Amino acid sequence: MRKLKLFIASSLDGYIARPDGGLDWLPTDGDDYGYHDFIANIGTTLMGGKTYRDVLTFGEFPYKNLENYVFSRSRDLKKIPGVKFVSDHITTFTRDLKTQPGKDIWLIGGGEIIAELYNAGLVDEYIISFIPIILGKGIPMFLSLERPENLQLTDSKTYPTGVVQLTYEVGN
């Protein structure tokens, strides 16, 4: 079965973006923080509509060689090749997707989709890069969690910039 993996950056106080969605606080030092190794094992991305809009501001769509699904209630999102918009219930869709053959699935974000898939018990691995900044406010990584989850630390890396990346798998 394919794994659903959350690979994400967070401020030390748990925010994944500024209140307006801004990501200007992320490092731009040229280090990929394990991204290329991670993406080599990914075949599919999942993201919400707000995250999709943010990704489109980066220039050329970076995941064009992957299968991409966007969950959104909005009908005004820009349609581009390689991106499918999903109106099915996210947990049912994701549960089915995990049983299909292929590489792992990257849960890109944002906070609402992360919470929904977490609450359904569908996230298998968390790779969180903590950026040495305190934002004070913003979009939290986890919204409205309904249950606790035991995690097993499987890896940790410290980068010269002060970024600390922790990898957890769901424990028993």
What's the predicted TM-score (pTM) here? Answer: 0.94
53-107 pLDDT per residue, tens: 888 888 889 999 999 999 987 778 888 889 999 988 999 999 999 999 999 999 9
Nearest to 107 by CA among 14, 11, 16, 13: 16
Least confident of 14-28, 30-44, 70-84: 70-84
What's the rounded Cα separation, in Å, for the pair 135 and 121?
29
Q: Residues in the chain, how many?
A: 172
Phi, psi at residue 74, to the nearest 5°? -80, 140
32: pLDDT strictly greater than 80: yes
State the pLDDT confidence band at 172, using cuts at 50, 70 and 90. low
111 or 40, which is more confident: 40
Task: Give the domain ranges of the chain.
Answer: 4-105+112-139
Report the top-level CATH class of 4-105+112-139: alpha beta
Structure-token pair, residue 162: 């002060």
93-109 pLDDT per residue, tens: 999 999 999 999 999 98
Nearest to 68 by CA among 33, 97, 34, 28: 97
Structure-token pair, residue 89: 């219930």
> Are 48 and 72 in contact, with CB atoms under 8 Å apart?
yes
Contacts of 123 (CB under 8 A, 6+ apart): 4, 5, 6, 107, 114, 117, 170
